Each structure stands twice: as structure tokens, then as C-alpha cells.
Structure 1
Amino acid sequence: MTSTATTALRSVLYVPGDKERALHKLGTLAADVYVIDLEDAVAPDRKDTARANTAAVLQGGTVPTAQLVVRVNGDAASQSADLQALRGCTPRAVLLPKYESHAQLAALRQALQQAGLPTSTQVWVMVETPIGIAQVAQLLAVDNGSYPLAAVVIGTNDIARLTGTSMGEGRRYLLPWLATVLIHAKAQHLAVLDGVYNDFSDTEGFAAEARQGRDMGFDGKTLIHPSQVAPANASFAPSDAQVQWAQAVVAAFNQPENASKGAIQIDGEMVERLHLEIAHRVLAATR
């Protein structure tokens, strides 16, 4: 499976890169995607260990590369070391923290090229600061070619901390900002992932927040503990109507007469190639 293969994004589990035991369990879990973290979850004196572990996972073949994303550090020196450790690897994506300027994205793309990663490697970005939210429309409007921008991850903990905003009462005070990021991500045809739920022992609270994220339109939820995988998958599983729609879209585009068309009619409605990508993601989420 390549790094550009279609996979669902219902459950996206963060795993610290320096935790060998946790990394060894990845092949036994049901998360759609794993984010191996080289940034905040790893102490400075453990960064090199985390880099070596991450490369070993990517090269080990136990987990398909389409399920593996690496969150790199934001500062240039650490980020360069992160990417050099990934030479010869093919992660699905590299996740850029604290995205606040086009210059950050350009620098990451250049560093990916210098490190020799395939040009199909996706870039995911974290919107988790006031500047990131305030300028999100501009930040997500970028040219895509090599190292395409493909997904936006919301960092709710940092947003709450930096703004002093409460995350209680069903995140009512954060919802306008979450909706802002979500609509601009959707406008650019990007996947968008909800933030983490911190109390992994609170199953009812997690389920409620996951349903809220699903109803808002998020593609999935980022997770901090394996116990959150199953309820996330259940919350973001497509409905029967969504599955039927996706099957109809895929079947229609598979017809020989539609092979080269950018848009077709299905039951009187125009459906574009973009919808075919969405349909494949819907069907992936049923497996």
C-alpha cells in the first residue's frame, strides 16, 4: 500500500515516537491512521531515539505506510534532523505543528525534497494557535503539486491554553473557531480532523464529543489512547444512506463511458471527481 492510498480517517491515534512498547502494538490496533509524534510528546533528550524508532516502524512493513503519519518538530534544526531520519521511508504524510504562515509550508516542502522523500508524500498541518485560526482562509489556500497539502488537524488543547477559553460545556466556547477551521478546510477540499479528548477514562464524554465532531462535519478524531479507537470508529462510521451514495458514485465512474469525464450525472445530480474521492473514503470507513 502506498502513501497515497485511500484510507478512512475516523480514528487518528497519536503515538510518542520514543515509546517502543506502544509502537510495537500498532499492528494490533484498529486505528485508521497513526501519527508517530516527534514533537511535543517527546522530551528533548529522547528525540534521537524517537527518530530511530520511527524509521524502524516505517521500514518494518508491519503497518501499511498509508496508515503512518509523522509529526515533526517546528524549529528548523530539529525538523531537518527529523526528516533526515526518514530518508528512504514513505510515510503517508508529515504533520507540521503550529501552522501560521505559507513560509513554514514552503520550508517544509523544501526540506522534504532535500531529504529525498517521495513527492507524493502529503503534508498535514495543525491549526492550533490564534494566528492559525485568524488567518486560516489564507493559510489553506495554497498551490498543490509536490508534497500536497491534504489535511488539517485542529489542536484544541493549545487553542484553549493560548486563548484562556474553557473546553467545558460541550466545547461551546470553542465551537465557532472549530467551525471556522472546518469550513475553510472543506472549501479547499481538505480532510479535517477534530482535536483530542483528554480524559480517556471518560467513555461517555468521549462518545458525546465524537458525535458532535461527526455532526459538525469532521472526517474523524485525533486520539491519545488506544481505548478511544473503537468508539471513534463507531461514531464516524458512515450511515447506510452514505454508503449507498458512495457505491453509486464509484459504480458510475467505473463505467467505461465515464472513465475520462470530470463530472457526470447520477439521478439528476452533477457529481464530480472530487465526490469520487469522498466516496472512496466513505467506503474505506466501512471496512
Structure 2
Amino acid sequence: MSFRPRRTALYMPGSNARALEKARSLDVDVLLLDLEDAVAIDMKDVARTQVAEAVKAGGFGHREVVIRINGLETQWGSDDLAAAIEAKPDAILVPKVNCAEDVYMVGRKMNDVGADQDIKIWAMMETPQGMLRALEIAEATKEYHGRRLSCFVLGTNDLVKETRVAIVPGRAPVYGWLMNCQAAARSFDLDIIDGVFNNFNDLDGFIAECEQGAEMGMDGKTLIHPKQIADCNRIFSPDADAVAWGRKVIEAFDAPENQSKNVMTIDGKMVERLHAEMARRLVDIAEAIAARDEE
């Protein structure tokens, strides 16, 4: 499919072999196979081996497979990156990206060893410097070693820790930073996935935060527990009525007699051509989800 939905991105600890096997059957769009935060220090090598073997074995179906490595400045980062390149996931998630050079460094190492060009770079946006340099990081896509960058992933737990702000309903202390990242991502046609909701037993709170993320224009949300999947898929899926309206708008603007029109009245509503462009993306998302569900 030309468009890949990224509504649900579930972290799976690379050190847990049973979790990696279960990942193949979960109803998520993205699997984030983690070698970093979710893995104890004495299990780093085991996790690396298990994740690499799982990705090479395949069997993940429609699910986009992403390996989160440890930072290259750590003792595990270089080995993680090498193993990930060999395993050939859909993307490599780089933690604690502070500036464009962090993207270039990974891209340069991937290019130097001839890594498959289909392997993308995703950037964890989770530090104060990352918040302040979000536009610079997104702009890395303009340079050769940064062209693999395709998605921002918000790491709200680390961001809260490093800035010492409070975690409160509505996320007011971090809202401005999250929207800054969203604007930077959209400036360079990147996807952006919202941060985790920690209390997986608080489904009402989780739903509220998913709804907020959807209103903020996020493409989806990172998850820490399978019980969060269904509500997240539902909230980040296009509404059926909105899709039907979108098809009507597209059809109207695509009609030969309307090719020169930038504004029209449809069912009593004034609609601009930009609304048709927005409708095309909405319909693309709905069709991609429908195609995924038919697999």
C-alpha cells in the first residue's frame, strides 16, 4: 500500500522472547522492538540477538517492524545498529535525538555499510534540546545522510524527567513542545507518533489522551500494553461519515467541469480545493486501514 497507518505503535521488550512471538498476532500497525529502556543492562546482548533473529524470521504480516537501538554513545549502540542493519527492519528508532547531526551520524553509518535504502530512520523526540531543535532535526531530510528520516516518536516520559515538569491530565506543561514537534514534522512531511500513557489500567484517562493526540494531528500513539490497542486503533481511525464526505468532495473537484474552480458549494457548504486535498489523505488512510484489515 502507498500509505501505512501508524495509529498504534506498541513497545515490546527485546529481552522477552514470549513477547516477541506474541507480537506477530497483535492488532497493531507498528511494533517497536526495544533494545533500550525496556531492557535491563545484563540482558542487552540477549535482547539484541533475540530481536535480530525475530526480525530475520519475519512473520509479522502487515505490521511495520521498528528496532529501537541504544544510543551510539553507549557501549551497546554500535552493535545494536549493526545487528539492526543486518536484520533489515522497516526502520531503526534512534533514542534521544538532540540535533540534526544525531540523524546524520546514524545515516552515515548506514550508508557506509550499504544498508538497504528501504530501512528508514525514526527519531525519538524526548530531550529539551530535541524540543528546541525540532525544526533543525526534521530538516535533516534535505541532506544525503538524513534522507532516511521519516518519523518522529515522542518520548514524553524522558521529556518530563529531564525538564522536571509535572505529569497532569491534559499535558499542559508539555503541550507547546509537542505541538512544536508536530509543526516541525509536518514542515518536512514526516509522520509523528504521540508518547505513551503510563497507567494502562486507567482506560478513561488513556482514551482522553488518545483523543487529545488525534486533535493535535498526531498519526497515532505509542503503547505499553496490549489492552490499549483497541481504543487507540478506533480513535485514530477516520470517522466513516468523514470519509464519505471526503469522497464526495474529491468527486466534485475531480469532475471535468470543475477543474478550474477553487471554491464550490457542496450540499449547502462552501468548500475550497484545499479541502479536497485534505480529503484525499483522509480517504488514503481509510483505504490503507481497510486493506490492512483484509490481509
Alpha-carbon shift at residue 269 of structure 1 (Å): 1.7
> Of 59, 63, 68, which aligns to 2:65?
68
CA distance in 2 between partners of 1:120 and 1:246 (Å): 31
CA distance in 1 between partners of 2:188 and 2:87 (Å): 28
Matched residue of 1:160: which SS? helix
Matches within 5 A, 1:255-266: none
Matches within 5 A, 1:156-175: 156-175=156-175
Matches within 5 A, 1:136-215: 136-142=134-140, 143=142, 148-215=148-215
Work out whether residues 38 and 51 of structure 1, in 8 Å CA contact, stay in contact via their aligned partners in 2: yes
Equivalent in the alignment of 1:260 = none
Matched residue of 1:161: which SS? helix
Tell me the amino acid that sits aligned with residue 155 of structure 2.
Answer: G
Work out whether residues 52 and 83 of structure 2, in 8 Å CA contact, stay in contact via their aligned partners in 1: yes
> Of 41, 45, 50, which aligns to 1:53?
50
Alpha-carbon shift at residue 41 of structure 1 (Å): 1.2
Alpha-carbon shift at residue 128 of structure 1 (Å): 0.6
Work out whether residues 152 and 192 of structure 1, in 8 Å CA contact, stay in contact via their aligned partners in 2: yes
Matches within 5 A, 1:271-282: 279-282=283-286
RMSD: 3.0
Aligned positions, number: 277
Equivalent in the alignment of 1:108 = 106
Equivalent in the alignment of 2:256 = none
Alpha-carbon shift at residue 88 of structure 1 (Å): 3.6
C-alpha distance after superposition, 1:138-195 (max 9, x if no partner):
2211216565211111111111111111111321222111111111111211101110
CA distance in 2 between partners of 1:272 and 1:166 (Å): 40
Matches within 5 A, 1:92-131: 92-131=90-129
Work out whether residues 83 and 115 of structure 1, in 8 Å CA contact, stay in contact via their aligned partners in 2: no
Deviates more, 1:170-179 or 1:139-148: 139-148
Tell me the amino acid that sits aligned with residue 233 of structure 1.
Answer: N
> Of 10, 14, 31, which aligns to 1:13?
10
Equivalent in the alignment of 1:269 = 273
1:243 matched to 2:240? The reply is no
Alpha-carbon shift at residue 120 of structure 1 (Å): 2.0
Report the CA distance shift for 1:275/1:196 in structure 2 as closer, same or farther (over 3 A): same
> Of 38, 41, 46, which aligns to 1:44?
41
1:284 matched to 2:288? The reply is yes
Work out whether residues 37 and 71 of structure 1, in 8 Å CA contact, stay in contact via their aligned partners in 2: yes
CA distance in 2 between partners of 1:265 and 1:179 (Å): 30
Report the CA distance shift for 1:151/1:265 in structure 2 as closer, same or farther (over 3 A): farther
Matched residue of 2:238: which SS? coil
Tell me the amino acid that sits aligned with residue 280 of structure 1.
Answer: D
Deviates more, 1:161-170 or 1:23-32: 161-170
Matched residue of 1:192: which SS? strand
Report the CA distance shift for 1:238/1:93 in structure 2 as closer, same or farther (over 3 A): same
1:25 matched to 2:29? The reply is no
Where do 5+ consecutive residues of structure 1 fail to align?
Answer: 253-263
